[in-house]
Structure formats: structure tokens, C-alpha cells
Structure 1
Amino acid sequence: TSEKKLLQIILLGQPELRDMLAQTELRQLAQRITARYHLQSLNRVELGAYVSCRLAVAGRKPRLFSDKALNRLYKLSGGVPRLINLLSDRALLGAYASNSDQVEVEHIKRANYEILGESRSAWERFVFQYGYRVVGTALGITLFVGLGVWSKPFLDSITPFVDSSVNSVVEVTKSPEKTISHINEQKDEVDVDQSSALQTHALVLKPENGEQVYINDFEEALSSSPESLVAYVEAPNPDTRLLQQVMEKSAPKSAGSIPLAAVSVDLGGREKGKKDKLQAFQSLFESWNLNYVEEPFQLACEFAQVNGLACLHKQGNWRSLIRIDRPAVLTLFNNQGQKIHVALLKIEGDFALVEHSGEKFRTSLDDIDRYWLGEYSVIWQLPPYKSGIVTPGQLKEGAWLEKGLAEINPETKDLSLQEQVIEFQRSMGLVPDGIAGSLTLIQMNNLLETDAPKLLGNS
């Protein structure tokens, strides 16, 4: 029309389309293209994620391709999606035909042979795959031998100078008095430096007997740094009354343990680690007696589901976190505004046991609150009817809820199941919608004495 264009044209093609549009006679068309996007070949990491995504869309969440099979798939396809699809589809058919539970390297090789063919002889394939290595090795050996022959006259000419230098060194080391005293002076200086560094950075604990105990494991965490300007104002304040109530119910500390108030760690000075989120979830799974290892494309929440657990991601405050009463992964912001992930393992009084980047330490709730904007994730135990672990005689949803709610409050057993859920939710301060969601099931687990780690210990 006179105001706007009604037709949009999208050009799709192979890389040759780019060369065609670069021709001089098509410059007017090329100048009218407002956006360009080029799909490049996938790299190794993207290939693995691509295969996992395609399998997930088809309904397969656990891994189906081994690492070696993915490496071979990347080498043969070059990261081209069309070839990835062809080889993967054929390899899946080969794995099925051989009654294999996983796609291995042999299936990828066989799929490549069946799709692309292999007409060359064994000698031609050897030359094609390894010929450049043989030629490179031969050139390297020739160059090395040639340099040795060429440099021999030069080395012979400088030998007298080297011998005289060695003799002078031997003569100096024959008078040890000055050397030993000089070494002692250096040692004293090193001892002084180490002592001052220890007094500056080491953590000092003062027990009742008056002796000072130095702990050197927290030197990096105790380095001074300015307070966070990112999260100080926006961080939610803890509900001190609720904290006081729940802390009074906490189990007594074991005799001889170090008071938590004696330790102070500046969370704002913690640096962002490449794997701090992975390590935080590993620490959470350790509290469930599970070993979560780093495997490509295996998410923590998928690992939890395989073991009868589930993830809960929330935005809240201390009140909501303490009500759930499970160890959690907190998302904090350090002094540089970087997002870091720490595992909150236990709360005792006004202090907490925290792990970050594989290092456990104790810090105050106020310090956590300064850098925490309320984002956290917890692991909780699924009821049997939601769990992927099937056991003999397993109860269905209605039967399990009725049995658990009757055990918690026998007075409501004559009500309908929905009414029992609503009454339980009201008693726990939850939204009484009659739906047994995550928070409702977690509170039921808390009262049914399930074998789950608690954030407040044996409270």
C-alpha cells in the first residue's frame, strides 16, 4: 500500500545462496535484505545437547548415546544437523536390532558405512586417515637430525666458555660460611613474612582457657571486601520471631563443638566458580546419601527423579524456607554483582552451615540475608505414587493420602479426601485449595517422620 509493505520475503538456502547474492548484478536485492542468519555446524557440546533434546521430545529422558558414540558421531557428521539425524536414526535402528540398551561406537560406525558407503581399500583408508601423521612425523625427525648436524660445530666452539663458567661456580660453593649465613637470613625473613601473613589472614578462635587457635582453611574467605551494593537493600529480612521459635526447638549441640558464633565468613568476597552450582547440588544430594557425579546433559532434577526425589524452585524468604525445612541451594550475589550458588545445609541459632565451591564453613544468617534476594531450590522426597521407583504393594494416590492424613490427624478420617486435604492445609497455613501439591506433600513428609534431611537438624 502507500503506507506499508504487505509482503515479507524469506530466502532459505545452502551456503551457495550467500555467494549468489554477493554477485554484482544482484546487489540491489542484497541491499534490501534487513536481517541475515547463518546456521553453522554444531560443536561437540551442542551436538550432545541436540541429540538429548531430540530424544527428550520423543519421550526419552535418560541418556541413550554413550560419550564415545557421541564423539564418533561428531567426527563423522562434522556437526551438520542433517548428517546427525541420518546417522543417529540409523544407529538407533542398529542398536535395536542388536538388542542393545545403549547406542555405542560400533552402531555409529555401522550406520556411517550403510549411509555413506566405504568403497576405498584398506590401504587407501589408512593413507587417508593416518598419512598426514606419518608425513609429519618423518619431517619432524628429518628436521631434528638436520639441526643436530648443523649445530655440532657451533656447540664445539662454545665448549671452553661453558667449562670456565662451571669451574667458577664450583669455586664459589667451596666457601660455605657466607652461603649458610645468607640462607639463614633468608629463612628468617621468610618465617617473619609467614608469621605476619598468618596473623593477618588466619581465623583466631579464643576458647575459655585463653589459648589462641589459628585455623588457616579460610584465608581466602576472610579477605576484607566492601559490602554488597547489589543486594543489601533489596534482600528480604528474616522473620526474627519465627527464627527464634524454631531455633528453640532445635536439637542441642554436641558437647565440645565449636560455637557457631566464633566463625565469621564474608560471603560477598566469595568468587564465582565455574561449577559452584553443580557442587552445591552435589552437597545437597550428599545429605540424601546420594552421589551426584558430573555427567554430560544430566540435570540435577532429572537425577533426583531417578532416585524418587524432586526439585522445588521458589522465590521466598526465611519464613518459607524454614517451613519447608530442607537443605537448599541459595542463589546469592557477591560484591561484584556476580551470581554464586551455595548449599545451605543446616541452621543453628543465628548461624548456618554453608558450602561453596567444595569448601564448608559457618556464617551468620544476617550475612546470607545481605546477599540473598530470596531465590532457592530444595530437594524433597516424592510420595510413592509420584515416584519413578515402583515397589510391590505400592499405594495409589488416594489411598496414600488418606492413610497419611488419617495418621497425622485421626479426627478428619471421616471426611472426604478433598476435605481432609483442605483441613490439613489450613492447619499448616497453606492455601486451602484441596490440591496435594509440592508444599502440601512436603509438610506431610515432615509430620510422617520420613527419612529426610532437615535444615533445622533434629528439631
Structure 2
Amino acid sequence: MYFEYFGLTENPFSIAPNPDYLFLSDRHKEAQAHLNFGLGETGGFVLLTGEVGTGKTTVLRNLLRQLGDDSQVAMILNPSLSERELLASICDELEIDYDQQQDSLKLYSDAIKQRLMDNHQAGKHTLLLIDEAQHLGVQALEQLRLLTNLETDTQKLLRVVLVGQPELQQMLKQSMLRQLAQRITARYHLLPLTLAETRQYIRYRLKVAGCQRKLFSDKSCKKIFQLSGGIPRLINLLCDRALLASYAADQELVEPKAVQQAAGEIGLEGVKAGSGNKLGLGFAAGVVLALGVAGALAYLSKPPAPSAIEPTLQPALELNPIVAEPAVAAEPEPYELAEAAPAVSVDSQWRELRQANLRPDIARQTLYKLWGYQVEAQQANCQLAPAVGLRCQRQQGGWNALLALNYPAVIALNDEGQRFFAVVTQLEPEVELWLDSQRIVVEPSWLLRRWDGEFELMWYPPRGFSGVLKQGERGPMVEWLSQSLAMLNGGLAGQSSVFDGELAQQVRSFQRQNLLEADGVVGEQTMMRLSQLVHLSQPRLKEVW
């Protein structure tokens, strides 16, 4: 209807999957790299999670386009199946003939395993891609694990990609699925688009549709980002309706008023402005209204209280910005999130904010949330970290040391004689601090006057890392090291399970590139940097958009 009016050849914001409109943000590219790395290893499971509409299926379809003729793919789009139905669907996808009169798990399993062997002997890889995997039952997941038992001396013959909503992570923490969870070689949680990426996304789709001029004002893009939370599917819905509203009002530029009208039409008018890409319950409810998402209520329900050793796993979302800077803060507002936030008074609210953060466990609770775990404050300590696969590390090194490590960290501050704790998530050009759920931005000089240089951070060590890995050792940990260095160097994944002189030289080269002591020994500092580069979804100190 509005195409000719705005100079468009087609609808730029259709929610139908169209490869011509493929937009891969940095986060989508990271997810893609994670999948490629996981599938390039010795086999097993790869996990991709994300909120509804963040682009998980887009990443999956792009992966399929990159596969060569040496891969046979089975893709399951509706996994609400029993064990028998799932195995039968896999047989159908792999074009396996079977006797439909003999409906048994053994029949299907034997047929699939025979196809895996045939493909391997023919030099082919076999991939199983399952979308909406949170709908799989425990027994069906266990059947998938059993299928991956078939292996050679160097690799498994079936590689499985599980794609699903955040509750899939929760499912895989069940004790009865611990064997499957241990076989996941790569994980990635896909976050929504940032404000800058939202603007790029809108411009890109308009350009593909033939528009060469600016249709959305900067304020409109910001409004779309705030209302959509950076979810591409919701961005499409808002933009489409906003263009229609602007056309009806005979306006050539989409303004925030048209965006707000569009939000009311699709059920997002109740979302707070300034929420950015922070997915609170109010926003998720808007998603339910707008898209009718099946199964969303299960995710929105309140999770059970976490135990001392198994905290509730939540999607690794950013925190909710609540307050603007106190009077000591810098003027710039790099994240453009402060316009709806109440001002903070140094004399009253600032003192109250410090008083509410006298305990380090409150800050550690925030740090766990950045890593994707929601735990009670009394559980938030370093002793919990190994139970969730993390390692907690305290270090005295100040600004340069923390900047080099590039991880968010808990720090102690002393202001007006009061010691309190915060999480630092950005150092340059301004410092971003989180005190519980409240964000403040300050000048570096403000921080340096109140911080003694000690910090506490978390990082993700590969399973089996004892603290030092050196020449002469062998086993899976050495193989992981070899594969990781090969991936970072742009080569094929290595298969070496012996830490020999050649591998030590590769380690020294990596250490020199990352300004570490080039001793050829993989200690804590080297492994922290390597882990961060391999696992791209880890939280890190942010840069300005």
C-alpha cells in the first residue's frame, strides 16, 4: 500500500524469511562462528539459545547455506514428538527406507546408525539440526545422546545442533540429562540487537527494498529500539505499522509519534520507554500479545528458588538501567538510556544507593547475572563458581590489569568514608558501574580516587583445565588447546592430543600477540585470554556504541 509513496519496490519489513534481507549483526556473526567451531570439533552437541525473534533461525539458515556437498543434513522444525516419532522424522530427513509396519526404537536407531556409517565411509558428515528444541522431552533428548555414541577413534559420526529459547538451558541442567550436557562442545546465547545495530538493521532492509533516502528519524529509531528491545521480529512489525501510519498522515519521514501509534496497534504500548534491549516481564508479555508465542508462559513463570549448588539459569541479558548519573558523573550519555530515568541526588539518593551496596554479595549477584545465572544474594560467592562451570579470581593490578583482562569485575569503592561495592562493566572512555540494578556513569578520575585497584572477576575455563598446561602433557585438554589455536589462526581444527614442541611454539606466538609472557606454558592468564577469544559470548568490558 505504501511502497510507491516511499519509493520501495517491496515490503522491507516482512516477517517472512527472505535470504535477500539477511542481516548479520556482530552478535549473529559470533553465533555463527560458535556453531562453526562446535561443528568443526570432534562432534557432539552444539547449543544456540535466544529469546523469541532474536534471529536464531536466521543463523541456522545461514549455516545451511554454507554447508557443502560433503554434508547430509536432517532438519527438525517441530520437535514436539515422542522418541519414536523423533527417530522416524530423522529417518525421513535422511531419506532412510524402513518398514513402517515395525514401529520400534531399535528399528529406527539401527537404520540411522547404518546411515551414519555409510556416510562416514563415503567421506560425508551427518548433521542433525533441531529448531525449537525446548519442546523436546527428556526421553527424546536421551535418544539423541544415544545416537551420538557411534564414533571412530577421532570423532563422533553425528553432530547435533540444538536451537531453542532460554528455557532449553534450564532443561539441560536436569541431573538426568547431565551426560548430554557434558557433550555440548559449544554454547551461545543470542542477545537482541543494540541501538546502533537496530539503526543499521532498519537502514539495511530499506536499502534492499530500493529506498535510497532516510525514512526513519534518529528519534524514531531510538523509540523502535526501546519498544522492541532490539528483537528483529518486533522491529519489523513496528517499522511496517509506522510506515503505514506515516503514509496515512501524508508524512515523508517516520517520526516517534507514528512509532508509538504502531506500538499500540501491535500491543507494545505498555513497554516503558528507556528499557532498551533489557527484556523484563512487561516486555515479554508484549511479545506474547504481539506474536502469540507458544510456550512463553512457561518461561515467564517464576523459577523455583535456586539451591546452593545449582542456581537457576537465566538468559544472559543485560541489566535494567534505572538511574541517571549522580552529580559527579560525566555529562555524556553514551548509551542514550537516561532520558526516562529519574535524577539522582548526591545528598539523598546517592547516599542511599551506597548504603544499599555495603555487602560484596550484592555486587557478586549482579556479576553472576551478567554470566547468565540468577542466584540468591547469600549464594553469590566465589565458592559457587565451580558448580556452574566458572572460575572466580581476585587480583590486585588496577586499571591497566583489568582493562587487559577485559572482564566485568566486582570492585570496592570508598566514598566519603563509606566502603561499598559495585560491578564495573566499562572503563573507557567513561566508566560504567552497576550498583545492584542501577547504572551510573562517571569519569575515570572519579573512579581512581575511590578504588584501591583490587578486583574480583569470573571467567570460563574449559572443562578439565587444572591451572597449568605444559609441554609433554597429553589428552582432551591438549586437543582442545590445539583446536582453539587452529581456529583463531583461521585454519582447520587441529587433532593433536600431545603438547609437543610445535604446539608450544604456537602458544608462545599467541602469548606474544596478546602481550603475555611468552613462556609456552598455558597458565591462568593465557587460558583466560584464550577462553575469551574462543567463547565469544562471554561478558566483557563494553565499548561505546
TM bin (shorter chain): 0.3 to 0.5
State the TM-score, normalizing by the size of structure 1.
Answer: 0.38
State the TM-score, normalizing by the size of structure 2.
Answer: 0.33
